């Protein structure tokens, strides 16, 4: 489900109250945006740091003015049922798809997840949606 990310030497774990994710803007620059909502936060954003692709397609995020974004990282971490950590490298040109949610001018980013492939489902049943910059650029111009 992506409990942490790494960009360069920086590791960011979701439970940390100041966790932010590097979102690639249209001009290629990065903007660090707050990663989801923790249980003890007082705000209107959904609790957690993940958005199921199926719930996005079902319209459950519509009230939050969702926008797809590119989370630019080198690696991400998953934990299995016993709490064992596994780090996975992204290939050159890949990113994790994020959902940017906005309420009253404030934004939060959530990692978009989907069903895991059979070879990784034994680690976790949900997996971050990994896409390539080339595919994203094609869909923007089509």
Mean pLDDT on 78-96:
94
Query: Per DSSP, what are the bridge partners of residue 142?
Result: none
Mean pLDDT on 91-113:
96
Distance (Å, rounded) from C-alpha 69 to C-alpha 109? 8
Percent of the chain with pLDDT over 70: 94
Tens digits of per-residue pLDDT, 24-75?
Answer: 998 989 999 999 999 999 899 999 999 999 999 999 999 999 999 999 999 9
What pTM was computed for the model? 0.92
Q: Which residues of 102-128 are buried (b: 16+ CB within 10 A; e: fewer)?
A: eeeeebbbbbbbeebeeeeeebbebbb
CB 79 within 8 A of CB 124: yes
Check pLDDT > 50 for residue 141. no
Check pLDDT > 70 for residue 104. yes
Domains, in order of start, for the chain:
4-141 (3.90.1680.10)
Q: What pLDDT is recorded for position 142? A: 44
What value does the mean pLDDT of the chain take?
92
Percent of the chain with pLDDT over 90: 82
How many Cβ atoms from other residues are within 10 Å of residue 56's Cβ? 19
Residue of 98, 120, 107 lying closest to 51 (CA atoms): 98
Distance (Å, rounded) from C-alpha 29 to C-alpha 21? 13
Distance (Å, rounded) from C-alpha 66 to C-alpha 101? 5
């Amino acid at each position: 489900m992506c409990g942490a990310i790494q960009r360069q030497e920086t590791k960011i774990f979701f439970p940390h109250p100041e966790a932010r994710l590097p979102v690639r803007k249209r001009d290629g620059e990065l903007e660090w945006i707050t990663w989801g909502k923790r249980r003890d936060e007082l705000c209107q954003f959904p609790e957690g740091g993940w958005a199921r692709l199926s719930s996005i397609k079902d319209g459950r995020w519509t009230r939050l003015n969702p926008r797809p974004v590119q989370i630019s990282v080198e690696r991400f971490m998953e934990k299995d049922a016993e709490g064992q950590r596994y780090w996975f490298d992204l290939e050159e040109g890949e990113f994790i798809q994020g959902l940017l949610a906005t309420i009253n001018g404030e934004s939060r980013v959530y990692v978009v997840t989907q069903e895991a492939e059979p070879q990784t489902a034994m680690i976790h049943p949900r997996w971050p949606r990994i896409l390539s910059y080339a595919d994203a650029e094609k869909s923007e111009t089509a």
